Amino acid sequence: MALAIAFFSIPVNTTSSFYSSLKTHRAEFLQLLKVKPNRRIRRELTSSAAMFSDNIVVSDIIATGLSGGIALSLLKSWEQTAKRGIFDQKLNRKLVHVTLGLAFMLCWPMFSSGRQGAILAGLIPGINVIKMLLLGLGIWKDDATVKSMSRFGDHRELLKGPLYYALTISLASAIYWRTSPIAIAAVCNLCAGDGMADIVGRRFGSTKLPYNQNKSIIGSITMASAGFLASIGIAQLRICNYCFLGIGTNQMTVTSSCYLGSAMEYQNSGMLSRDQLLYLFDRFAFLTSQPEVKQRIAEAVNDKQEAVAVTTAIQEEIFVEMGVDPQFGLACLGKVNLVYENDQDLVIRLYGFVAKEEIACEEAELGPEIFEQKMEMQQYLQEQQLEMLKQMRNFHMDDQSAILEKIRQQMEMANFEPEASLLSSEKIQDIVNRRVSPVYQPR
C-alpha cells in the first residue's frame, strides 16, 4: 500500500481568512488535491522491521528463536563458570544479572516495532519466569542454575530476586517495548544499575547509608551511575529509536505518559487523533528547518539515496517519539483526507505538511542556488494562484466547481505540472459562460 498525495500549490503563509473562503467549494477543491501521487510522497508501507522475512510474523518468530538461543547460551555459559568455581558465587550471580538483560535488549531490533514484536520478545524472559517458579518451588531440579543465580545455593532464593528480575524484563518488553523510555530505563537500571551496585558495594562499600546499614554510599552512587550510563549507551545504539529525531544524537525527547496513553488509545481505534496529526505536522516542519536535518538529507542524496527515504525516516522517528508504531502512523497519513474529510483546516494542514516534505527533498537534490531560484518561481506561481482563487470567490458555487473541473482536466493533460493549475481571467469567464449554456461542455 502506498501513501499517494498531490498538492495544489497553496501559499504556506496564507491567512486563515483565505482558507475560510474555500468553504463554498471545499469538496471540489479537496478532490482536486487528491488527483495524483506526488513524486516525493510515494511510500511503500512495507515493514522495515521485518529483518528476516517479508512476512512480519515469520520474521518475529525467527527473531524469537534467535534471541532465545542467545539468552540460553549466555545463561549456560554462566552456569558453567559457577559449576567450575571460576568466580565467587555472589559475583557470578551478579554477572548473570548484568549481562543477561542487556544482551536481551540488544536483540530487540530483530523484532518488529509493533505489539506483535513486543509480545513475542516478552515471551523469552517470560519463559524464565516459569522456570524460576518451577525451580524455586522445588518442582524442577537444576543445581547448576540454582548455583549460578542464588547467593547461598538455596533453590527458594529464586522466588525472590531472580523471579522479580525475569518478570520485570518480561513486562517491560511486552507492555512498554521500544516505543517508550520506560522500557530502556527499567531494564538498564535493573541490570546494570543493581548489578554493578552489588559488585562495587561489596568490594569498596565500607561507608554505609545512615538510614540503611545494608547499603553503602559507593554502591548507591554506582547504582545511579551505571543505570544512567547503560541507558545512554543503549540509546546511542538506537535500540529504542524514540530518542533520535535527526537533530543531534545528544537530544532525547521523553513523551509524557498521558500523551503516550492517548497515542495508544487512538492507535487501538485505527486512526490518529487530530492533535496527534497536528503535532506531527508541526514537529516535522520544525525539524526540516534545522541545518542539521537539512545536512542529513543532503548527505543521503550525495550517497545516492532517495531524499524521501530520509524524510520518511524522520517522520517514523517522530511517531516513535509520540508512542505510535511508525508503520501504523504512516498508514494513517494515507487516509487522513478520508477520515477527516469534513475537517477542512486539518486537510489543508495535511497538504501543507506534504509541501514541506517536497521542499525538503528538492532543497537537498537541487542545491542551495538552484533551489532558491525555484522557490522564487514557486512564490510567483503561488501569488498567481491566490489571485485566481480570489477571483473564483466572485462566482456561484456551481461555477466554482466547473472552474475546478477544468483545472483538473488541464493539470491531468499536463502531467500535473504546477503551472497547469492556472487559468486566466478570460478563461475563467469563458468557463462560466459555457456552464450556463445548455450546450456547455468543458473544453
pLDDT digits (tens, 9 = 90+) for 216-249: 888 889 888 888 888 888 776 644 443 333 333 3
CA–CA separation, 267 vs 279, rounded Å? 15
Query: pLDDT averaged over the chain?
Result: 75
Cβ atoms of 416 and 36 closer than 8 Å: yes
How far lies 408's CA from each of 28, 213, 347, 413, in Å?
10, 79, 19, 9
One DSSP character per residue, 23-59 reads GGGHHHHHHHHTSS--TTT--B---TT--S-SSHHHH
- Helices and strands, number each (H, E), in the chain: 20, 2
Cβ atoms of 216 and 225 closer than 8 Å: no
CA–CA separation, 428 vs 406, rounded Å? 9
Residue 46 reports pLDDT greater than 50? no
One DSSP character per residue, 79-127 reads HHHHHHT-S-HHHHHHHHHHHHHHHHHHTGGGS-SSHHHHHHHHHHHHH
CA–CA separation, 26 vs 19, rounded Å? 10
pLDDT digits (tens, 9 = 90+) for 399-435: 888 888 888 888 888 877 777 888 888 888 888 888 7
Q: How do 208-209 and 212-216 pair as beta strands?
A: antiparallel
Question: What is the average per-residue pLDDT within 83-103?
Answer: 83
Q: Provide the pLDDT for residue 189.
A: 87
Q: Provide the pLDDT for residue 282.
A: 93
Q: Name which of 282, 426, 341, 390 is nearest 33 in CA terms.
A: 341
* pLDDT confidence tier of residue 253, bands split at 50, 70 and 90: very low
Element (H, E) at 214: strand 212-216
Q: When comparing pLDDT for 213 and 437, which is higher?
A: 213
For CA atoms 410, 414, 415, 418, the dihedral sign is negative
One DSSP character per residue, 277-303 reads HHHHHHHHHHHTTSHHHHHHHHHHHHT
Q: b vs e for 387-400, b when ≥16 Cβ sit within 10 Å of the residue's Cβ? A: ebbeebeebeeebb
Question: SS3 for 164?
Answer: helix
How far lies 208's CA from each of 198, 203, 222, in Å?
13, 13, 14
Question: What is the average per-residue pLDDT within 103-107?
Answer: 86
Q: What angle do CA 306, 284, 43 make, to 5 degrees?
A: 40
Nine-digit cell string for 409? 482536466
E strands present in 236-391: none
Q: Name which of 133, 159, 139, 157 is nearest 147 in CA terms.
A: 157
CA–CA separation, 127 vs 134, rounded Å? 11
CA–CA separation, 249 vs 317, rounded Å? 13
